[in-house]
Amino acid sequence: MSGASQVLQLTDPLPLDGGSELAQAEIAYETYGTLADDRSNAILICHALTGDQYVASTHPVTGKPGWWERMVGPGKPIDTDRYFVVCANVIGSCMGSSGPASLASDGKPYAMRFPVITIRDMVRGLVALLDALGIERLHAVVGGSMGGMQALSLAANWPERATRVLVIASTSRHSAQNIAFHELGRQAVMADPNWCGGDYYAADAQPDSGLAVARMAAHITYLSEEALTEKFGRNLQDRETKSFGFDADFQVESYLRYQGSGFTRRFDANSYLYITRAMDYFDLAEEHGGKLADAFAGTTARFCLVSFDSDWLYPTSESRHVVHALNAAGAAVSFVELSAPHGHDSFLLDVPALDRVVKGFLE
């Protein structure tokens, strides 16, 4: 399936939580399906850290299918014959929306001059997009991982904008362990001699080695020990015996190196710094006086939270924490923990039970 790709340039500066504003911000997005005459059938899908707007269409850089093509399309759980689906690249990213690689007013890339952003800033950009599309109230907002953070932020800060809120494998705030993993990745990028303080856009060499290591470290957190063991075990890669050297002896080493090198072809290192920082700053309770229930006071939206039993990055306890706060706020909320062996990445992979939950909740 292919979506309609467009870029919106905001006419007004985008105010940011850090106190500055982003002038002439651009939001790159794709749409699928047809918007109803009464504009009541729109679903906003929010992407994860390294995702983009190509939720159900071929990625222009990698040539791979959309990251949620199994979920979005005609007759699929998010049915584009019924719903008008919008998916936008968040600000700070590198697939067409304003980010560190974008040109500043002096004609040079922002690089590290780009303002530090938050999840709520990303959602401000999404709300501006909805305004431009004339969509006052969404049938649903849907997101997994960082996309779930955006969905929760929309529900808390713009409570009138969504009738349904579907949050998958996510959290209301980043834990110390998650911040630690992100800092490991950022330091890997910044330790790469080609990073050059972020000013590498005109250089022949990019900080690919550092970004690849960051991706490798992060990718381990997306999987479960069960999945790694089942897929690779201690199997050797293309050899009968150990090399007694530092090539990729084990299949799991080769796999991680492949993940790292492939990632550098489609993602910008500075964007990785900015988006991980935004995730680390995310704390919905802190935004609302320290009590998470207050973030959802008076909400009329219906919520559904989904977790996976093998996800140790955003474990079920994180979803339950949000569910308890929604209960305290008197919100209509359903919750399910699904069994899947894939770890955090389960929301992107073949889990038929998730398909049924998504389809049922949206209908």
pLDDT at position 2 is 75
Query: Catalytic amino acids?
Result: 145, 311, 344
Domain at 4-174+283-362: CATH code: 3.40.50.1820
Where are the chain's structural domains?
4-174+283-362, 178-275
Closest CA to 267 of 121, 51, 111: 51
pLDDT at position 226 is 87
pLDDT at position 124 is 98
**DSSP result, 297-312:** TT---EEEEEEETT-S
Does this model's pTM top 0.85? yes
CATH topology of domain 178-275: Rna Polymerase Sigma Factor; Chain: A (1.10.1740)
Q: What is the pLDDT along the chain (363 residues), one digit of tens a residue?
A: 777 889 999 999 999 999 999 999 999 999 999 999 999 999 999 999 999 999 999 999 999 999 999 999 999 999 999 999 999 999 999 999 999 999 999 999 999 999 999 999 999 999 999 999 999 999 999 999 999 999 999 999 999 999 999 999 999 999 999 999 999 999 999 999 999 999 999 999 999 999 999 999 999 988 888 888 888 899 899 888 998 989 888 998 998 898 888 899 999 999 999 999 999 999 999 999 999 999 999 999 999 999 999 999 999 999 999 999 999 999 999 999 999 999 999 999 999 999 999 999 999
**DSSP result, 238-297:** S-SS--SSSS--BHHHHHHHHHHHHHHTT--HHHHHHHHHHHHH-BHHHHTTT-HHHHTT
What are φ and ψ of residue 14, in 5° steps? -90, 115
What are φ and ψ of residue 302, in 5° steps? -95, 135
Six token digits for residue 33: 């399906």
HSE at residue 347, side-chain half, CA atoms within 13 A, is 28
Strand-pairing partners, residue 283, are 173
